[in-house]
A and B are shown apart, each in its own frame.
Chain A
């Protein structure tokens, strides 16, 4: 116990956020507009809908050292594209099972539904998630992989455009 406390001392978790344009990205905007202060541990990547998120995006984030990946979109029933969030939910639940096979804690993938008016919810989620990640400690994959740009290739060996 003492060991992990020392290991975790001063550890600031890095949360990679993969969020949808209509709800969570706008919700994060609202948090900023309302000057709601939350832990400075989040960096966002914007997509139009969370259903765009290939599970390999989440895996790449974890591979490269993110301690947690926050996937967030519109509430079920409110998806700007009708039902994209349901597809995301299925994918993320399955992915969370799979990363455990690789020895990663399931807490490293967090799925939330944060709407455009829920700036305060994002702040609460971040406060909670940072605490959770501090408890489970840094991503074991961090610094374990040589940091170089990997050319994305498709199944046919051709470079992705």
Chain B
């Protein structure tokens, strides 16, 4: 056994396709443990898809993912997850504490109901994001920033070694942004690995130790200082690789599972 700690997340030759068309090409990267990692790239670059593939929510066309050197598991050994706010129905009949308690279900197992220990853990998570006073608030009454904090608290209640967050800073106010960043730093101090999909280039250097530059393929990955450079950003944002796009289209045409798919007429869903 030697020197360097094993990577927190190991992504090996990961290709992800939607309707047979590749949207992420051959991502091969190791994410070091105990760091704040930003995933940066233009719209439609596949940032969320990468997160969802790491979490096992989409089945990759090829490749595999390991977390702490092992295939994904649940609860204490799994992944904490902060999804995009729009991904759930905020009219659902639950209050803030209910949502945060969901983060403890994984360790609780079948049939058992959350007890005092779980409630304490959830309240502690709410305190960390400054929402303890709103624990009994119905979730429909929350502001956008507050909804984001609830999701963050739920992830904290998961108490996982690795956290994956999909645009937690998008559309929140300055106070929430600061609060979220504070939580990220606390997590790092506790030795957790946090991977954050981020869209604001201005704050990348301030927030993260490590960065993944993504645009359908991995453009670069590494410590901020070496990686977050002008050339790499130009390569990431300077238009897509036309041939890669066309190859994806050729795969889509050549495959069978795709002909049925077309964008819905009114752009919904």
Binding partners A and B = no
